[in-house]
């Protein structure tokens, strides 16, 4: 088995356990609010973590 095929199978297995949430306008607005609040408190957070927080807030509201 080629190494490329092994990687493809591993990725497919990983993706089968994943849930994909499309980014919408509500999530982008929550992202902006979270990012602004973090900047005001001088508490930086990695960009990906801000997106995760925004998605969680959106899912909590729905």
| Overall size of the chain counted in residues | 62
State both tokens at 11.
């990725």
Question: Does 30 reside within a domain?
Answer: yes
pLDDT for 7-48, tens place per residue? 999 999 999 999 889 999 999 999 999 999 999 998 889 999
| Model pTM score | 0.74
SS (H, E, C) 10-31: HHHHHHHCCCCCCCCHHHHHHH
pLDDT for the residue numbered 12: 96
Parent domain of 49: 21-62
Which residues contact residue 30 at a Cβ distance below 8 angstroms, ignoring those fewer than 6 apart?
Answer: 53, 54, 57, 58
Tell me whether residue 11 is in a domain: no
Residue 49 lies in a domain: yes
Q: Count up the domains in the chain and report the number.
A: 1
Residue 7 belongs to some domain of the structure: no
CA-nearest of 45, 32, 42, 40 to 57 is: 32
| pLDDT, tens digit (0-9, with 9 covering 90-100), for 3-12 | 999 999 999 9
CB 55 within 8 A of CB 21: yes
């Amino acid at each position: 088995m080629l190494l490329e095929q092994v990687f493809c199978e591993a990725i497919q297995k990983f993706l089968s356990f994943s849930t994909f949430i499309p980014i919408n306008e509500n999530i982008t607005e929550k992202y902006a609010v979270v990012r602004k609040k973090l900047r005001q408190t001088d508490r930086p957070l990695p960009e990906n973590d801000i997106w995760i927080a925004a998605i969680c807030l959106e899912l909590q509201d729905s």
